[in-house]
Structure 1
Amino acid sequence: MYVLVISLGDPVSRTFLEVAPDMPLVETRGGLEIRKFRDVPVVVHRGDPTEFGNEEVLASLGRHAIFISRHEMANPRPLFTVHTPGGWPDVSVAHPHLVSSLYRSLCRGAYEPFSCAFEATHHPPNTSAVSATFIEVGSTEREWRDRKAVETLVYVVEEVTGRELERRPSAMVVGDLHYVTVADMVLRGDVDIGHVVPKYVEISLGVVQTAFRKHVTSVEKVFLFRKNVKNPARAEIVEFLRGSGVEVVLKG
Structure 2
Amino acid sequence: MGTRVRGSLSILAFKKSTHLSRNMSDVVLIAVNNDDIASTNQAKFLLENHQWSKYDDVESQPAFAIGNVRMWFLPERILWEDHLDQRWNDATKETVREVIFPSRHAAVSGKPCLTLHPIGVPHHPLGEKPPFGGRSGFAPPPNPRIGPWWRLLHKKWEEDAIPDFSLSLEVTHHGPILDVPALFIEVGSTEPYWPNEEAAQLLAEVIAEGLAFSDGFSNECWSSRQIGEPVLVTLGGGHYAPKANKLGLENNVWIGHMLANHSLPFGSQENPGILWKQSIDAALASTQEAFPGGVIVCNVEKKSFKGWQRQLIYKHLESIGVEVVRSNAFLEMVKGCREVE
1:57 matched to which residue of 2? 87
1:7 matched to which residue of 2? 33
Name whichever of 48-57 and 76-85 sits farther off. 48-57
Cα deviation, 1:20-53, whole Å, max 9, x if unaligned, reads 2254331223243332245411121101321211
2:118 matched to which residue of 1? 84
Instruction: Give 1:35-114 correspondences, 5 Å limit.
Output: 35-55=64-84, 56-58=86-88, 60-89=94-123, 90-95=137-142, 97-110=144-157, 111-113=161-163, 114=165
Residue 240 of structure 1 deviates from its aligned partner by 3.1
For the pair 1:165 / 2:221, whether they are aligned, the reply is yes
Cα deviation, 1:68-116, whole Å, max 9, x if unaligned, reads 1001111222211000011342343233531111211112222132221
Instruction: Give 5+ residue unaligned stretches, structure 1.
Output: none
2:6 matched to which residue of 1? none
How many Å separate the matches in 1 of 2:29 and 2:62?
A: 13
The number of aligned residues is 250
Contact 1:10-1:69 at 8 Å conserved across structures: yes
What value does the CA root-mean-square deviation take over the aligned residues?
Answer: 2.4
Q: Look up the SS of the partner of 2:236 in the other structure.
A: strand
How many Å separate the matches in 2 of 1:54 and 1:126?
A: 6
Decide whether aligned partners of structure 1 residues 31 and 238 sit closer, same or farther in structure 2, where only a CA change above 3 A counts: farther
Decide whether aligned partners of structure 1 residues 133 and 95 sit closer, same or farther in structure 2, where only a CA change above 3 A counts: same
Contact 1:96-1:192 at 8 Å conserved across structures: no
Name whichever of 152-161 and 203-212 sits farther off. 203-212
Name whichever of 60-69 and 153-162 sits farther off. 60-69
Contact 1:66-1:133 at 8 Å conserved across structures: yes
Instruction: Give 1:232-251 correspondences, 5 Å limit.
Output: 233-249=309-325
How many Å separate the matches in 1 of 2:169 and 2:30?
A: 20
Instruction: Give 5+ residue unaligned stretches, structure 2.
Output: 1-26, 124-136, 213-218, 267-275, 328-341
Contact 1:96-1:171 at 8 Å conserved across structures: no
Would you tell me which structure has more strand in proportion to its own residues?
A: 1
Among 224, 246, 249, the residue aligned to 1:187:
249
How many Å separate the matches in 1 of 2:174 and 2:140?
A: 13
The code of the aligned residue for 2:279 comes to: V
For the pair 1:137 / 2:182, whether they are aligned, the reply is no
How many Å separate the matches in 1 of 2:320 and 2:138?
A: 20
Q: Look up the SS of the partner of 1:93 in the other structure.
A: coil
Percent of paired sites with the same residue: 24
TM-score (norm 1): 0.88
